[in-house]
Amino acid sequence: MSSSTIPIPYKQAPRGNRRERRRAETRERLFRAALDLFAKHGFLETTVEDITEAADVGKGTFFNYFPTKEHVLATFGAQRLAEIDRALDRARAGPVLPALGELATDLAGQATESPALLRAIYAAHASCAPVRAELQKRLKTGRQLVTQIFQIAQERGEIRRDASAAELARLTQVVLLGVAVAWALNPDSSLRRTAEDVWALLLPNLLAGKKRRLHAGRRRTGAPRDKRS
Confirm whether 226 is domain-assigned: no
Residue 1's pLDDT is what? 39
Q: Report how far residue 184's alpha carbon sits from residue 220's, in angstroms, rounded to the nearest whole number.
A: 33
Contacts of 85 (CB under 8 A, 6+ apart): 1, 2, 3, 6, 145
Residue 160's pLDDT is what? 94
> Of 43, 62, 81, at which residue does a domain stop?
62
Q: Is the pLDDT of residue 159 over 50?
A: yes
Confirm whether 94 is domain-assigned: yes
Q: How many CA atoms lie within 13 A of 146 on its CB side?
A: 27
Confirm whether 194 is domain-assigned: yes
> Of 33, 62, 91, at which residue does a domain stop?
62
Confirm whether 228 is domain-assigned: no
Dump pLDDT digits (tens) for 7-48: 334 444 455 588 888 999 999 999 999 999 999 999 999 999
110/195 same-domain check: yes
Dump pLDDT digits (tens) for 180-202: 999 999 998 899 999 999 999 99
Residue 127's pLDDT is what? 87
Residue 19's pLDDT is what? 85
> Of 62, 91, 112, at which residue does a domain stop?
62
Helix (H), strand (E) counts: the chain: 10, 0
Dump pLDDT digits (tens) for 87-130: 999 999 999 999 999 999 999 999 899 999 999 999 998 888 88
For the chain, what is the domain count? 2
Confirm whether 227 is domain-assigned: no
Residue 131's pLDDT is what? 87
90/116 same-domain check: yes
Question: Model confidence at 210, in pLDDT bands (50, 70, 90)?
Answer: low
CB 159 within 8 A of CB 150: yes
DSSP state of 1: -
178/101 same-domain check: yes
Dump pLDDT digits (tens) for 74-89: 999 999 999 999 999 9
Q: Report how far residue 169's alpha carbon sits from residue 175's, in angstroms, rounded to the nearest whole number.
A: 10
Confirm whether 114 is domain-assigned: yes
125/214 same-domain check: yes
Q: Is the pLDDT of residue 228 over 90?
A: no
Give mean pLDDT, residues 158-175.
95
85/58 same-domain check: no
Other CB atoms within a 10 A radius of the CB of residue 128 amount to 17
User: What's the pTM?
Assistant: 0.81
Residue 18's pLDDT is what? 84
CB 90 within 8 A of CB 153: no
Q: Report how far residue 118's alpha carbon sits from residue 129's, in angstroms, rounded to the nearest whole number.
A: 18
Q: Is 178 exposed, middle or buried (0-12, 13-18, 19+ CB in 10 A)?
A: exposed
Query: How does 30-66 read in b/e, with b if 16+ C-beta sit within 10 Å?
Result: bbebbbbbbbeebbeebebebbbebbebeeebbeebb
User: Which domain, by its residues, includes 11?
Assistant: 2-62
Q: What is the largest CA-CA distance in the chain?
A: 63
